[in-house]
Amino acid sequence: MKKFLKWFSILAAAGTAIGLVIAYFCKSSADSGDGDGSEFTEDEDFDLDADLKPASDREYVSLNKNGEDESENAE
C-alpha cells in the first residue's frame, strides 16, 4: 500500500507540473496576440457617444404593467 501511495503521489505531482507548464504556455500565446486581428468583439464595435440618441429625442415609458389603466384612473 505504501508503494502505491508513493507512485500515485509522484504521478500526481508530475501531472500537476505538466499541466501548469501547458497552462502557462497557452496563456502566454493567447496574450501575445498572434492572431491575424480577426478577433472582433461587440465591445470594440460599440461607441457610446455615437450610438445613443440625444436626450431630447428619448421617450420614457412607465414600467408598471398596467400603466395606462392607472393613469386613466388618476384622472
What is this structure's pTM? 0.40
Q: What is the 8-class DSSP label of residue 53?
A: P
Do residues 73 and 67 lie in contact, with contact meaning Cβ atoms separated by under 8 Å?
no
What's the pLDDT score for residue 35?
A: 53
pLDDT per position as a tens digit, 37-52: 555 565 566 666 666 7
Give every CB contact of residue 71 below 8 A, 6+ residues apart in sequence. Answer: 62
Contact 7, 15 (CB under 8 A): no
Distances (CA, A) of 61 to 58, 64, 66, 67, 68: 10, 9, 12, 9, 10
